[in-house]
Structures are given as C-alpha cells and as structure tokens.
Structure 1
C-alpha cells in the first residue's frame, strides 16, 4: 500500500515538487580536472560524468583518475546526490569521509535520516543487480534509468523533504519502484555503516615449505558467510588431511593447503580470497567548488553518497614459496644433431636440427613443457629460432626431442641449444630446470661456410686468318751447330700451337736447298 499525506500536503507536495523540478537541473555536471586515490575514508576519488535521466542520475566513481577520462571503463563505485539544491561537479577530485564529514545542512544531518538513506542504498540499484531490484520491487524488467530515478527520488524524499511528493516520473515503473523503496524505508529502523562493512583476509604459512607435500596452512578470516579462494598458478586446494575442498565456499577460520604431493619442484604461488561486497557503501564524497580547493560547509559542490555495485568484492592475497623436495631436483642434459645425418655440422643454407633432452627426477603423470632456443656461441645472443615440446612422462627419468628449423642466413655460425623445463602445458612462469651451457659441445652445432662461386671464363681470342709464308731469306752466314742466334730476316709465322721453332727450320731448309743446287750443278758438268 502506498503511503500518502493529507490532501493539503499533497497539494503542497505538488507545488514543492514543481519548484524542485526546476532545481533538478542543478544536479548536472560541471567539468573540471581530476586527481587520484583509493576508495577509503580520507582518500580522494575521481567523480565521473552523470548517467541516467536528465533530472536524476548516478555518478561513476574511480579510485584513481582514468588514463583516458573519455573512455574510463568500469568504475569501482557509484554515487547518488545528497543535496537536491546544490550543483554537482564532475571530472573533479572529491574526498571520501564518514557520515560525520557531511558538509550539507539539509535533513541528512539527522542520524535517523542517514539510517533511512543507508537502508535505501542497500535495497536498490546498483547494490542489487537490475534483475534483483526488479524482482524485489515488483517491477520485473525495470530499466536502468528507471531504477536510478526511483532511488534518487527516494533519497531526496528523506534528505530534502519531510513528506511524500508527487515527482515527475518518467515511467510508471519508476514510480512503482520508488514507492517500494519509500515504504520499506519508512517501515525500517534504518541501517548503519557497520551493516556495510566487508572484511576478508588470508595469512600464509610461517614455516619453511618444500615440494612433494601439502603447502600451508593458509588461514582465512572474514565477516561474510563465505569467501571464494583462487590460486595463481592453479593448484589443487585441500584441508589439512589432504581432502579436496570447495574453493567457492571457504569460511572464517578455515585452514587450507596447496596440494603439491605430486610435484617435487621448487616454486611459488599466490592464494587470493574474495568476499562479496565492499565497505565503501554509505560513505560521503565531499566535492570542492574550485578544483584543488578544500570543500567547506560554506563553499562546496554537491555532496554524494557512495554505493558499491552488486559485483564489488573485497580481496586479499598471500604469496608462498617452497623449495624442491630433497634429492628430487629435476635436471636436464641435451644433445643437438643435424636431423639429416645425425652429425653436428649443418649445411650452409640451413636445415633441421634435433635436440634430444634427457631429464631426471620428474614426476610421472605430470605434464611438462620444454622450450629451447638456438643461441650464437660467439656472443651468447639469441637467434629467435625456438622449439617447444609438451609431454607427460611415464617414468621419472627419460628423454624427449625438441626440433628447430634453421633457415638460410647462418652460414659460418656456431649455434648452441639452450633448454628450459616448465611444469604445465606451456612455457610460462619460472622454469624448474634448465641447461644453458654456451660451451657444451654436446648441444653445439656448426653451420658450414657458404661456398665461393668461381670467376666466369673469358672468350678465346679470334686467331684470325692464316698467314701465307714468303720465300725464306738465305742467311748471311752458315748456322754453326750450337748457335741459337736468330736469322737476319724471317718469314711471317703460320698459325700454330706449342713452341715456336720456325727460325731453325727455315735455316735447315735453306742449307738443304743450297746443297741440292750444288749437286745439280756437279751432275751437269759431268754430263757435258
């Protein structure tokens, strides 16, 4: 049943609502510059631009100034106006305080009214999701702007009025949700800041931890019915007896453990708890009129009251490190060869090389990933040539292979395979073993030098046309045996190959001709 005042109050209420309707525009943003902080009493916050209908709205609040205020992302909290007749400012830094820090002079100074407003915040949007608020108010499917309008009007009903006014509803849904809130607040004794307090913490073990065992205990503390626990990197959670627990419902005082009974390697993990809700609901944001000034009772912009969204959580975390189980530290050894002929020399233009990685002290049935990279032995720099193999060993000791493809461009280089072993399906986190010896010949391969290309032969010289010999010239004196002087005149040589003996041959021919001529003359004399 809706609560109404007398006829006179209704007429007065309509007149007052009309007058206040003209003042609703005062609760609009006036842009200024921001600052940064965390959402807790005494810290600054950034006030973003109003969202909702023109006359009512809600303000996004960030613990720190968004890097890009034009695209700030999701806020940490929201805020409603507490003073209907004071202008709101956005894009500015406000300061968070408790209820006693309120600078206004309207009815919100009364602790009873403060209790009513806090009750409204706890039972409206965004402390409830739209679906939850719609179901509770009897307006399923209520729009976001209608939910905001109903809540803001209900707050002003207590902070600036002493009676129920006929507001300028945008829709019947907004009016119906408003009356649900006002009726509930009137019937309630109110709420206090303690009702919104949310605590969650976790403490880690104080003794030395080692792999192959249960790591803990981690002790959870909270004032909520339960908290959710997560582990990074993921590990199974157990109780002190090693039995699995429901990580989504851990209670105050519970002691939990990480199950590392099947993992003997050293490592670390962060255990986090998350409780629904945040203690910021019900705190007041005081906003200065000039940016950077200190707001006061005499000079301040619109005061706002914070409300944490339904998705808000209070978080805490504890990090633990543990050593490898005694005598079970994983080790690696490697052997790198050319895949084509199993030697340690690779062709100058590249090819495939295979590194056989021998491991010891792994946990059978546990998934591991080995990642390798070829390094230049000359300066130990990486080549970017990598290979990865994920495997689950059936025995503690064994081997796997990692393949690398070497492209053209490494002729003359000496390459060394470095290998790192990780626990899990990928090569992330801290390696549990490695083999990175730049001088180890077993993990080294040499790339041949690129062969030199021989010079291009020139074309043979054209021999030209043969030269016809001329009549040999008779030497001026006989050639004495053993004398190698050249004749006085010499015919042009014929085209030939090999050594040039033409002068000697010509001399011999001349002697033969002279001898023949003398013989002929002798015969003629005898005949005559």
Structure 2
C-alpha cells in the first residue's frame, strides 16, 4: 500500500476535506456514496499517546454506504510524519457488512521509539471490496492532517529536581518549615495530563511520611518547570531531608487522603514515566536545624 503525499493533498483539496476526520470517497473513486471515519487510540488506556516502548493502536472504523451482505477488507499502516514514510507491514481485517452502516476495527503494532524526539504517526487506511486488500478501493483514510487518526509516540521524558527553602536557602530551623522543590522537566507532551508526586527522604533513604503532589499537571510546553512544596514538621533537628519526586500517568495513579500515591489496579504499565530520587545530591538536600555531628553531647 503506497501513498503519495502531493497526490493525496490534491485529491483531498478537490473534495474540500482538508483537516477533516471524515473522508467521503464515492465521487473520487467511482463508487456509491461511502463515508469512512476512524479513531486511533492506544488499546491499553484509550488515549492517543504512547510511551517510548510502543504498544498496539486500535483503529475504530465507522462506515456508511456499504452494501449489506458484501465482504470488505480494511488495510491499515502507520505513516511517520517526520520521515514521510510508511512503517512496518500493512495489517488487514476482513468483515461482512450486516447493513449499509456499521463498524470494524484494525489493530496495528506501534514500534518502540529509540530516538530523542517524539514521533507522530497517522494511521492510513484503504477499504477494499472483497476478501483481500486488492482490487477495488471503496474508501480511504489518508488525510495526514486528520487528528482522529494521529497518535504520538513519546521519546524519553525526564525530570531533574533542585530544592531550596522558601527564602532560597539551604537549611531550615529545627521547628521545620517549607521545602520548595523545583521540578524541571523535558520532552513532556503538551496537553497531556500527568501527576507529579514526591516524598521527603533522609540521606539513608528512609521515608518520613511527608508527601506533596500535583494531582493533575497539563504542560503547555515540552520543557519547563513547576514547584512542589513540602511542609516539614518539627522533630527532625540535626538531619537532612531530600525530596524524591516522580512523574506519572495521571489516569493510572491515585492520591490517598494521607497524600500517599498508589497505582490504580489493572492500569497498564508503565505507571511512572520519570523520576529523580538522588538522596545524596547536594542541590536537593536541605539541612534541618543544627547538624547532629556538631550538636553538644548529652
């Protein structure tokens, strides 16, 4: 199955369907009035975003104008908008139309992303009359600007954390105060919902039960930063504390009343996207009160 981008644009322009999620192909293909729509989503959690590990995209097809009782074959393939080329082998599904309108579904493998950049794919589809992906094409989905057929495969997303006190210092008094963690992120997806969650650890990695979170964070840019505030109670005189922070898929986690984070049972993996949990990083360490090593012996 081959697509020529210039000829596609010309055909779509002639039919007045640029940027449309529906392709009306009857006049152009010499068939009856056949309408074909598609919606491409990750089968794991029904959104259009994939982790760098790839997965499976389910393409739900809705048609009208087919002949009841006739057999049709839908053939789909991924088109890489960056390289302007088709990826992998075409996947087909054959079905018999029970009536002139109905649905069919294609499932295509999405390869891993081993680049440093997000990749946008469009699921392009040909609908053939008959039991094979040959012969008469009765409808197409080949609009490369169709958002309903577009998925995004993430590259590696990362966060880096620094910490200060509310006044920009590196230490708090013995009775506690606020630690402000600055979460710098890279290669996030604009418009996607994340959860940012963290806890305070001692330098030995022991959790003290102090949490902070942003339940829903939707970035407007791929790179940026966001603050996360921890309230340190009294009682930690003489030790240091470090914020350990993770970035999560919002739809796959939940925050309890105590502020702790748990995974939603049955959620697809991975749940965590990125983390920065360096307990020995000076730029993340905040001293509390008088260091134990220089306190007078009791």
User: Structure 1 length normalisation: TM-score?
Assistant: 0.26
Higher helix proportion, which one?
1
Q: Which has the higher contact order (CA 8 A, sep 6+)?
A: 2
Q: Computing the radius of gyration over CA atoms, which structure comes out larger, 1 or 2?
A: 1
Higher strand proportion, which one?
2
